[in-house]
Structure 1
Amino acid sequence: MSSATSLYLDFEVTAGSAPAHAARVLIAACAAAPVESVLIRAAEGAELDSETARQLIAEAQKRNIAALVALGVDDARKLGADGIHLPWSKDIARQFKTLKQSASASMVIGVDAGRSRHDAMEIAEGGADYVAFGVPPHVEDRERAAERQLDLVSWWSELFEIPCVAFNVDDADAAHALALAGADFVAIRITSADTEEAAGARMRQFSAALATPEPAQ
């Protein structure tokens, strides 16, 4: 396991969340374990409330944590985010190219390449700050998808310098396996509907999994 494997907080804002409560959950998560970056995004099918997003971005930045949003360039700028995360889509390479042309040089751009090695390489060559490999929630055969994710992370870590992030990680055991495979970041999903205690406990569990040394051969 690389000592560089770090936590990436995937913070989902659920519909109707009060900004103050969402901020407390985010603060608790960040206090429980070291976090390098946080993605602030709305739950699937919902829109990100601007007031909540601004408060969460501010809290992350107070702690020197890069705050990303899954929105367009104009919205990211208005909210004061440090960067943008592009979720996977069938034309993800084209979407990234278009976004890259309109984004400032200082804006962090991360991209979920799905399971396409070709797209991942094209995105990296185009100047992405990280490439992500995830297991979407709708996938039924999660065991097979998790194996494919491990294979992609291992392949990437052996050949490329650009960091990779493992998304949609189900539990601490999976986080440990992905770190062993060479993931630079392992994403941990916390929602604004969680309690502060639950968020902190989950963060500590994942952090411990990443810190556990590799078994002796």
Structure 2
Amino acid sequence: MTVPEDRCRLVLIVPDIADMDEQAKMVADALRGGDVASVIIPQYGLDDGTFQKHAEKLVPVVQAAGAAALIAGDSRVAGRAKADGLHITGNLAEFTEAVEKFVPKLIVGGGSATDRHNALEIGELRPDYIFFGKLDGDIKPEAHPKNVALGEWWASMIEIPCIVMGGTDPKSALEVALSGAEFVALRTAVFADPATAPSIVAEVNALLDEKAPRFED
């Protein structure tokens, strides 16, 4: 059994489900499947008040499983829900403000880096991680080749960890891991069928244990 930290780890993105209890149960079940580094909780189309309720329900579930709960959306929601961090999807100004205001109290990362220049601008802010892809960008079975390429380039030269968005096929996690990225994010691949979410998390971890490259200390 390998220590998960020495290879690419899984990040889950909470699916867009209006029923709060159902959403929390799905996440709790998935987390029982095995190692998950963090869970990103997007706002989707919810107003701040409703999102607040969702976040307050989800954050303790995520933290109880030993993962970091990251709010993608309103920083006030992150504070009130006692989340571990903020996932920023906005522009550089928004990112800069979040880093200045919340690091090191909260984990701050994210980005909408679509090319190397964007990525390096974000990197200069020294966030806790950078994210390649969109939170709902899992539209094909495989990870988007551009994001995998960016992850490979970044991981080969920059200390700040990166998360690369995977595809709808759980096996896309390995494709991301082979790029050298520290984390792979999955959403539909895990949550398309709630009943199989725990077994898919277990399967992805087994695949990464077996085939993902190991990081040097």
**TM-score, normalization: structure 2?**
0.82
The one-letter code matched in structure 1 to 2:10 is L
Give 1:167 deviation, angstroms: 1.5
Q: Which runs of 5+ in 2 are unaligned?
A: none
Q: Which residue of 1 aligns with 2:41?
A: 40
Q: CA contact under 8 A between 1:40 and 1:67: conserved in structure 2?
A: yes
CA RMSD of aligned residues (A): 2.9
Give 1:213 deviation, angstroms: 2.1
Matched residues in 1 for 2:81 and 2:65: separation? 17
The one-letter code matched in structure 2 to 1:51 is K
Q: What is the aligned residue count?
A: 207
Q: Which residue of 2 aligns with 1:31?
A: 32
Q: CA contact under 8 A between 1:167 and 1:186: conserved in structure 2?
A: yes
Cα deviation per residue 1:189-217 (whole Å; 9 max; x = unaligned)? Answer: 159986542222332332233223269xx
Q: Which runs of 5+ in 1 are unaligned?
A: none
Matched residues in 2 for 1:179 and 1:200: separation? 20
Alpha carbons of structure 1 residues 160 and 173: separation in structure 2 relative to 1, 3 Å: same
Q: Which residue of 2 aligns with 1:99?
A: 98
Structure number with higher relative contact order (C-alpha < 8 Å, ≥ 6 residues apart): 1
The one-letter code matched in structure 1 to 2:95 is F
Q: CA contact under 8 A between 1:7 and 1:34: conserved in structure 2?
A: yes
The one-letter code matched in structure 1 to 2:159 is E
Q: CA contact under 8 A between 2:71 and 2:85: conserved in structure 1?
A: yes
Alpha carbons of structure 1 residues 24 and 113: separation in structure 2 relative to 1, 3 Å: same
**TM-score, normalization: structure 1?**
0.82
Q: CA contact under 8 A between 1:135 and 1:145: conserved in structure 2?
A: no
Alpha carbons of structure 1 residues 49 and 93: separation in structure 2 relative to 1, 3 Å: closer
Farther off after superposition, 185-194 or 202-211: 185-194
Q: Which residue of 1 aligns with 2:60?
A: 58
Matching residue within 1, 7, 18 for 1:4 = 7
Q: Which residue of 2 aligns with 1:22?
A: 23
Identity percentage over the alignment?
A: 27
Matched residues in 1 for 2:163 and 2:31: separation? 18
